[in-house]
Amino acid sequence: MGQKNTAVKIVCENRKARHDYFIHETYEAGMELFGTEVKSLRAGKANLKDSYAVIKKGEMYLENMHISPYEQGNIFNRDPLRPKRLLLHKNEIMKLFGQTREKGYTLVPLKVYFKRGRAKVELALASGKHTYDKRRDMADKAAKREMERALKDRQRT
């Protein structure tokens, strides 16, 4: 029995999401893509800026994710911003549907990656931060950085 390739190759990340939202839970979902889109993803030509997930008619879609057209794709290329269907279990979709409707959460993609050769997206159940929350996070981060720098300087002497 040979070892399966379990390496994860990250294609793109949405770093701004952790700055703009409180992350409550994360989910891994498969993506329904066409061949030229997969080739573009493997080349790392994707962007998650301003993208989000919505639930329509019992299915989940990723909106506003930009996958650049594949150079050699000619007539087979698709619209870069077309909604991509996400593959989740029905009970997960219904649970997320309830939480986004009742509690005011939103579904934000954090990163797109390949796992065992399949394109996956990490979705986060998130709620928006206010400006003062962002400022507090930045102040905490700066304070932590200062403490680490002071400790490092102290160890050198």
Per-residue pLDDT of 106-149, as tens digits, reads 889 998 898 888 889 999 988 887 777 778 888 888 888 888 88
Per-residue pLDDT of 50-97, as tens digits, reads 888 888 888 899 888 888 877 776 666 777 778 888 888 999 888 888
* Residue in 34, 53, 25, 37 with CA at minimum distance from that of residue 121: 53
- pLDDT exceeding 90 applies to what percent of the chain? 5
Whole-number pLDDT of residue 5? 58
* Residue in 76, 53, 51 with CA at minimum distance from that of residue 66: 51
pTM, 2 dp: 0.72
